[in-house]
A and B are shown apart, each in its own frame.
Chain A
Amino acid sequence: MIREEVQSSAARRTLSASARLLGALKLDGPLLVGLGLVVTYALIVQFSASGQDLPTILRTLFRVGLGIIVMLALARTTPNFLRNIAPWLYLAGILLLLVVVVMGHVGKGAQRWLDLGLIRFQPSEIMKLAVPMLAAAFLHDRPLPPDWRALLILAGLVALPAGLVAMQPDLGTALLIFASGALLILMAGLPVRVILLLFALGVGAALVGWRFLHDYQRERLLTFLNPESDPQGASYHINQSQIAIGSGGLFGKGWMNGSQAQLDFLPERSTDFIFAVIGEEFGLLGAVVLLLMYLFIVSRSVYLASQTSDTFSRLLASCLALTFFVYVFINAGMVCGLVPVVGVPLPLVSYGGTSVVTLLAGFGILMGLHSHRKLVGS
């Protein structure tokens, strides 16, 4: 009896010690565990997908480290601070986007990043955070659900960066920026009839927008609608990816033993199509385990969002959580043929780019908002 008590109190002490540490760092334990699991999973898969390339893993670790630093820093900031810097961050992002678009025109080709020497930095990544931040800050002082004027301003705030990113052209990121804005407005309580109306307008806009798509983007859409039409051309990606996933079966072919992935049949296997590597090598089981980890992260994030007490925090936190799920759904859905092929990485798992840093920054903000929930003056 006594021993049990000693043990349980020792456990409680350790627990409370780590809880104290997390509290001091303004982090959330369960969410951190979820993120850690996904990142670990990512490293395992990337090692296989990169063809057992250690430098790839080291580069990913470097980015994760960078992301953790940013996350720690952002977790310590207060909602008020975030709310105040939101317009400046947004402005800076727009300026950088303009620079990139101009450079792209000068360089006569797609241009998405700025070379900062140590890493290549994509200004569009800033906008993934800046847009919901500014939108949330904008709605913070207003009565909700937003009125028409507020909606129009919000639409402009979202459309400007989304348009600039689409011009790069990076349809995937533009879509995500748009999605983050849309989700935020939905969470703000946009009436259902307005949602339906906007949906109808959206379909109309899509029909018009078709004319402005690049050829390869149209091709991707058409391929999605009819993947068997051209097995060696545009639909090659999706066919090979479905073969990879389907051939994985229930348990997969085993780590570093997926023929589609290891013999180059699967294009972009360590970046956009890494979910197919998981499906092939770890099977349905491995894919569902990853999805469950994602769902845990999303649920925990939404829970944290619901615990915050002010409008800005609630909207921003829930928007970051749901956007994260949109990333997952669009990428996984694309790889297994549920949605059209758009260049969206699988969050935290795809190799390359600065998206890991942005995502961890977002979770830092989210945890910070939750940790500082009692410190908000409205």
Chain B
Amino acid sequence: MNSRVRIKDLWNEQRIFLSRTVAAMTVVGLLSLALIGKLVYLQIVRHDYYLEASQGNRVRLEPVPASRGLILDRNGKVLVDNEPAYQLELIREQTPDLDDTLHRLVGLGMIAPEDVNQVRRTILAHRGFDSVPIRLRLTDEEIGRFAAHRFEFQGVDLHTRQTRHYPYGQLGVHALGYVAAISEEDLEKIDRAKYAGTTLIGKLGVEAAYENQLHGRNGYREVLVNAQGRSVERQGAYTPDLKSEAPTAGTNLQLAIDLATQQAAETGLGTHRGAVVAMDPHNGDVIALVSHPGFNPSLFERGLTRDEFATLNDDIDKPLFNRALRGTYPSGSTIKPVIALAGLTYKVVNPDKEEFCAGVYHMPGSALLFREGKTGRHGNVDLVHAIARSCDVYFYGLAHELGVDRIAAFMAPFGYGALTGIDISGEKPGLLPSPEWKKHYFKNPADQVWFPGETINFGIGQGYLQVTPLQLAHVASVLGTRGKSYRPRLVTGFQDSMGRTTPFAPNANPDITNVADSDWAIILSGMEGAASYGTAAAIGKGATYTIAGKTGTAQVFTVSRSAKLTQNEPERLKDHAWFIAFAPAEDPKIAVAVLVENGGFGASAAAPIARAVMDAYLLNKEPDPPAAGGKP
């Protein structure tokens, strides 16, 4: 190759060029086939996979919460419903400066300064482009205030959401319960998928016990989103067809509660601590259930601050404590009709035989003295009068004759010491004492022995015996129906969206069959006596129906036997006042148990409340205007 000057060989160049052109076009063809092959792979072979991926990109499922079922009283009056409320929501991605925005919201009074950190954490915990509630249940004034400054808060806006509304405020809060934000413990119990979109869950009472029915079924809605996660209306020039499923509203609950009666009970208790339970003895329907003091159920929904909860929780009056179901007290003399029935049934007492009451009882074979309570000496009393006038001495003797085993065995079917089985949770069983119980309960062998004196005290409902107001309402029902027993219930039926109600049959317990009709009649006449000429004679005055009742006084602490009972003892050391009743006596439609903590004597503190409740139910007598505000 030393020929420095090569001649251009045009013919050869042409030949080479043509062969190169053919080669190049072959490569072009092969590469084009490779491209088309890749396209076929993507668009035909893996089309389904990529179609799903693109669908997953563009569509976000947004839950549509079902509206929670209503709670109605026995006449269909709405006790709990839903109400749209304004809340403040923030979208992080649309807020230029989160900290500055929060700071200015504090300045506007929309957020409490101490809540800022919690709010920021909540915002940061949400997904992108979520509208995060930062303040619930705005007042009209707050809505106006924010609306005037809305333009200054980019990314923050007012939204309406369904919230739970309690038109009567605190009324029946311990029966109805309340709703609150779903907690971590709740999350473990519920099916999270079903609760997507739900923010509130029933926490107590009917709201909690019937959560499944009230919740309904949430729907969903497909939302078109762009790459930034923002929801958009259109995809290019088109509005795509998006799927959605409407939510199914929760079931409405028909309660046995009678609004007027409930109001009468609430009004009757007034500022006292205590409880009222009223039931229909023929089916166990709870007509009224009150525990005072109550609390405002709406507080929990908007979320209590730590301080607010502490205030409620540490309140000396224990407003969060459901006394009707969980408060256990000695039954006091309300036990006497049952002890009397036991005496009659075991034939240890002659109802017509009069005993002499000198105000003090000497226990046979012992030096122990048992004093009469506040009612003084009764002179000669037969069984009917002993009930009506609540003669302790008579029942000391009767209890001694019966013995503790027979008393405990006889009382058990009445529901003492056992859960009544009411359809809301939290109930306490109380305590029906017996030698057997004592043997197991105490660790110290010296305490495990049942002393005869304890039987004497048992006869007048003091000592170890513990009952709840609900249990005594149940006992009153059993006494009123001569042995019929039903499980108490608040909810009597489900109402569907068309307004059709499916009622439930009452839950009957085994009847008490070992008591003779004539014996029931004796007890009835004793209890009628109590409400007409006996200890609670005052409440029978002017009644257009017959009342059978029994007062009771539960000792808060055992007064030294020699100490004089005075009216000067501190308020909270006074005895609890009981009254149980049913009316009309011959065929009762309502049975009531009233407990007034530290009310002193049952006849004066508790009985008038029971009368007001029975009047409201039997005569449709309107009570005084309800204490709690709200629409009628």
Contacts and interface: CB of A to CB of B under 8 A. Distances in A.
Interface of A: 48, 51-52, 141-145, 147, 183, 186-187, 189, 240, 242-250, 254-265, 279-280, 283-284, 287-288, 291, 295, 298-299, 302, 305-306, 311, 314, 318, 322, 325, 329, 332-333, 336-338
Contacts of B36: 288, 291
B54 A259 contact: yes
A265 B39 contact: no
A29 to B, nearest CB: 21
A343 B71 CA distance: 65
Interface in B472-517: none
Interface string B47-91: 101110111011000000000000000000000000000000000
Given A144-B16, A187-B20, A187-B24, A279 B43 contact: yes
Interface residues of B, number: 47
Given A263-B232, A314-B17, A336 B42 contact: yes
A311 B43 contact: no
Nearest to B56: A243
24 contacts: A48-B237, A52-B236, A145-B16, A147-B6, A186-B20, A187-B20, A245-B39, A246-B50, A246-B51, A247-B47, A257-B235, A257-B236, A258-B236, A260-B54, A260-B58, A263-B225, A263-B235, A279-B43, A283-B43, A284-B44, A291-B36, A299-B25, A322-B24, A329-B31
Contacts of B51: 246-247, 249
A287 B18 contact: no
A259 B44 contact: no
Top 9 A-B residue pairs of the complex, sorted by shortest distance between their CB atoms: A246-B50, A262-B236, A247-B54, A256-B237, A143-B6, A189-B16, A264-B227, A256-B236, A259-B58
A90 B12 CA distance: 29
Nearest to B236: A262
Given A189-B13, A257-B236, A295-B32, A284 B57 contact: no
A186 B24 contact: yes
B369 interface: no
Interface of B: 6-9, 12-13, 16-18, 20-21, 24-25, 28, 31-32, 34-36, 38-40, 42-44, 46-47, 49-51, 53-55, 57-58, 224-228, 232, 234-238, 240
A293 to B, nearest CB: 12
Contacts of B16: 144-145, 189
B53 A247 contact: yes
Contacts of B49: 246
Nearest to B52: A247
A332 B35 contact: yes
Contacts of A248: 43
Given A143-B6, A144-B13, A329 B39 contact: no
Contact of A262 (B6, B18, B32, B235): B235
B31 to A, nearest CB: 5
Contacts of B46: 246
A272 B232 CA distance: 25
A260 B7 contact: no
Contacts of B227: 263-265
A249 B20 contact: no
A246 B32 contact: no
B237 A284 contact: no
Nearest to A314: B17
Contacts of B228: 264
Given A249-B51, A263-B225, A298 B28 contact: yes
Contacts of B238: 254, 256-257
Nearest to B29: A295
A244 B21 contact: no
